[in-house]
């Protein structure tokens, strides 16, 4: 799979201390294992001149206080609370000047953020997804991208998970319904 770097962005989903570091409240070994392949993908994208976008899941402490049903703290416990060390990107995956960092408050990085406008302004149509968690924020953001007529491609070996079956489900679902799946060795960047 070849991607024109001028029309492509790597979307690094939620590679934060809270999910990827052993001291994080929602640490998963599968998320920690995704750090190195995500770093390789980001390095390749930067070298080719493709865009890189990072998402950060951040929750104000009172975010769910008045919600009727949707409450991530009930489901997952308090995590990545605004202002905490958990919200920071893991060491080695820092953003650079000119790269977008999307602060989101739910699973979908398009929901009430600047992501869509930024991608459109930069002529991006292909989105290569890596990060964590496969069946939560990666799946919901990639699905939302597909509904907005971007080309979502999930990079299988650079996606974190809690259980291996969670990743398999997300990849199968994405490939069947709205996107494509590839691996790091199968993708490259070239001017069309």
Q: Is 130 among the domain residues?
A: no
Burial of residue 157 (CB within 10 Å: 0-12, 13-18, 19+) is middle
Respond yes or no: is residue 14 known to be catalytic: yes
- The tokens for 40 are 């390789």
Q: Which of 14, 57, 108, 166 is catalytic?
A: 14
CATH number at residue 93: 3.40.50.850
Q: Give the residues across from 81 on adjacent strands.
A: 59
pLDDT tens column, 99-149: 999 999 999 999 999 999 999 999 999 999 999 999 999 999 999 999 999
Q: Is 31 among the domain residues?
A: yes
What's the domain count of the chain? Answer: 1
Q: Which of 57, 104, 108, 130 is catalytic?
A: 104
Tell me whether strands 51-57 and 180-182 are parallel, antiparallel or unpaired.
Answer: unpaired
pLDDT tens column, 21-30: 999 999 999 9
Task: Report how far residue 64's alpha carbon sits from residue 71's, in angstroms, rounded to the nearest whole number.
Answer: 5
Respond yes or no: is residue 137 known to be catalytic: yes
Residues 6+ apart with CB under 8 A from 96: 46, 52
Q: Taking phi first (over 0 means left), then psi (-120 to 50 degrees means alpha), and beta for anything else, what does residue 77 get?
A: left
Q: Is 98 among the domain residues?
A: yes
pLDDT at 75 over 80: no
pLDDT tens column, 138-186: 999 999 999 999 999 999 999 999 999 999 999 999 999 999 999 999 9
Q: Which of 20, 38, 130, 137 is catalytic?
A: 137
Q: Is 129 among the domain residues?
A: no
Q: Is 34 among the domain residues?
A: yes
Residue 107's domain comprises 2-61+70-124+138-189
Q: Is 159 among the domain residues?
A: yes
Q: Is 169 among the domain residues?
A: yes
């Amino acid at each position: 799979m070849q991607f024109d770097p001028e029309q492509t962005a790597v979307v690094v989903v939620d590679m934060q201390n809270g999910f990827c570091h052993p001291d994080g409240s929602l640490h998963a070994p599968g998320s920690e294992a995704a750090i190195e392949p995500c770093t390789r993908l980001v390095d390749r994208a930067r070298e080719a001149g493709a865009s890189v976008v990072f998402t950060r899941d951040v929750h104000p402490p009172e975010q769910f206080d008045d919600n009727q049903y949707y409450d991530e703290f009930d489901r997952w416990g308090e995590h990545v609370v605004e202002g905490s060390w958990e919200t920071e990107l893991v060491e080695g995956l820092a953003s650079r000047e000119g790269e977008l960092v999307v602060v989101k408050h739910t699973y979908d990085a398009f929901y009430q953020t600047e992501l869509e406008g930024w991608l459109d302004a930069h002529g991006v149509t292909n989105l290569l997804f890596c990060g964590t968690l496969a069946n939560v924020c990666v799946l919901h953001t990639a699905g939302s991208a597909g509904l907005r007529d971007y080309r979502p491609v999930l990079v299988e070996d650079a996606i974190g998970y809690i259980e291996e079956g969670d990743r398999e489900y997300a990849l199968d679902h994405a490939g069947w319904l709205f996107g494509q799946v590839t691996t790091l060795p199968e993708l490259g960047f070239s001017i069309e």
